[in-house]
Amino acid sequence: MSEGLDQPRLGLGAEADEEQRGPEGELEADEPQAETQAEPQVDAEAEPAVEPDEDLPAEEDELPRLRAPEHAAGDLRIPSGYGIIEGEPNGARRSVGVVVARFNGELTGELLSRALDELERVGVGREAVTVVPVPGAFELPLAAMALAKTRRYSCIVALGAVVRGDTPHFDYVASEAASGLQLAGLETGVPVAFGVLTVDSEEQARERLDKGAEAVRTALEMADVFARLRAAAGGSDDRS
């Protein structure tokens, strides 16, 4: 009886030992898994230290930097001893033609207002000013050419506003307006001042509305230069 009882006890002990070994075996089998799980953690810790980020400033240096438009300070200085023929924005005895685009009318209307104020300030009477509205900036050169060919005006002031959009339309209109107005002056010999805003936004245009007055001063100065040139060449000082 004692042997029969001892055998089951040995069997239970054996099973208990196996059960005890089982978890140990499982723990031993899990150890490699724990090691494999630890490997990603090492990689995760290494991720923040990425060296290419340190090279970003060098790449940024290679890119062109956008700068606010600036004009060089200071005035033109001509050495003494040379003959100088220089005009002044004097409106006395001048007749002026103004061509202005209706497109973007709120902007061009302000350009026109400032141009007319400047004409009055420098002495050009209202009766000596002719204003010719046209549909848009593209039509400015043709109107300027027609006015110049009448020979009734000392100079022409062209006013317009071209704002960049989503299509190449801006480039074509701005380019043709500039080249066409220059051609009108070259072919007729009458000064044509470029008072056309070519901007990226309405905000930029509003910051440059003084271009209307500036164009008036430019046109009158060039008209005075031409009159002085004729006088220096022995002709009459025709200020009409």
The answer to whether 169 is a known catalytic residue is yes
Reduced to 3 states (helix: H, G, I; strand: E, B; else coil), residue 189 is: coil
For the purposes of burial, counting CB atoms within 10 Å of the CB of 123, is it exposed (0-12), middle (13-18) or buried (19 or more)? Answer: middle
Pair 132, 153: CB distance under 8 Å? no
Q: What Cα–Cα distance (Å) separates residue 106 from each residue in 31, 111, 129?
A: 79, 9, 21
Which residue, among 198, 205, 189, has the nearest Cα to 238 in the 3D structure?
189
Single-letter residue type at 157? V
Q: What is the DSSP string of 19-59?
A: HHHHHHHHHHHHHHHHHHHHHHHHHHHHTT--GGGGGHHHH
Q: How many CB atoms lie within 10 A of CB 102?
A: 13
Among residues 21, 149, 152, 169, which one is catalytic? 169
Q: Give me the active site residues, please.
A: 169
